[in-house]
Structure 1
Amino acid sequence: MPTMTAAQQREQAKHEFDAFLADCPSRVVLERISDKWVTLVMASLSDGPRRFSELSRRLAGVSQKMLTQTLRTLERDGLVSRTVTASVPVRVDYELTDLGHSLQDPIKLLKAWAEDHVPDVREAQERYDAAHDAGKNS
């Protein structure tokens, strides 16, 4: 096998991690970070460490099971760290890792965009529904 230059290795890596390709591993990462609960947990941890109960209270509608699964997945992916402090009762804190912090700007922008554009999306949905309902009645 011939030796590749650094530029050739970068070029090869670009092709290996092309999210438009069906078998690209980056699709797993995109799927993970596009999950509603992942985005909300990451945004919630942007202000610093939080306990499970704090996250649960802050994220209205999340079940204990879903929050546990989300935190475990984020920990496995290296985005969140879990710190257990021996006390009575045991204290468990979750916080972003350096890798998790590197994702904060895109997540904050996505969250802000969603919050800012809810009226626009609802209006578009109403127009779409009205146009498609009118077509059914013809």
Structure 2
Amino acid sequence: MTNHLNFNVYHPNCPSRLFFDNMADKWVLFILDTLKVQAQHFNSLKKAIIGISPKVLSQKLKMLERDGFIDRKTLDTRPIKVEYSLTPLGKELAETAFQFKLWAESHMQYVLDAQRKYDESSQ
């Protein structure tokens, strides 16, 4: 039986705060959502996630691998290719990221309307 620790995200020294720091990043959410569909190579990810730099993509992939959300597999090809895929934990988190995506796409007009209304009233 696993002894689960009690984590409290509101406590300043709780490690779950670092999780929120890492996950509250648009690139992480985009990577998770992109890998949700299928495993991909680095260049495929770079093409699919418009605007991400190779350096940032590499950093985020390493972080996600370290945290147990993605697997990195070196393929025995010429030239050698690396493939990234979601772990079971990553798949679960990707579903949450996908819900954020759906929410943003279906509610963005309300946000834009609220911003416009606020900006007009504060002039």
What are the superposed Cα offsets for residues 39-62 of structure 1, whole Å, 9 maximum, x if unpaired? 000000001200111111110111
| Length, aligned pairs only | 122
Q: Which runs of 4+ in 1 moved over 2 A?
A: none
Alignment of 1:1-138 (within 5 A): 13-14=5-6, 17-133=7-123
SS in 1 for 2:122: helix
Asked which structure has the greater RCO (Cα within 8 Å, sep 6+), the reply is 2
In structure 1, runs of 5+ residues without a counterpart are 1-5, 134-138
- Runs of 5+ in structure 2 lacking a partner? none
**Bigger Cα Rg:** 1
Q: Name the TM-score, length of structure 1 as normaliser.
A: 0.82
Offset from partner CA, 1:107-135 (integer Å, 9 cap, x none): 111111011111111111111111122xx
Q: How much is the aligned-residue C-alpha RMSD, in angstroms? A: 1.6
Q: Is the 8 A contact 2:46 2:52 kept in 1?
A: yes
Q: What is the distance in 2 between the residues matched to 1:40 and 1:46? A: 10
Query: Identity, % of aligned pairs?
Result: 34
CA distance in 2, matches of 1:54, 1:116: 27
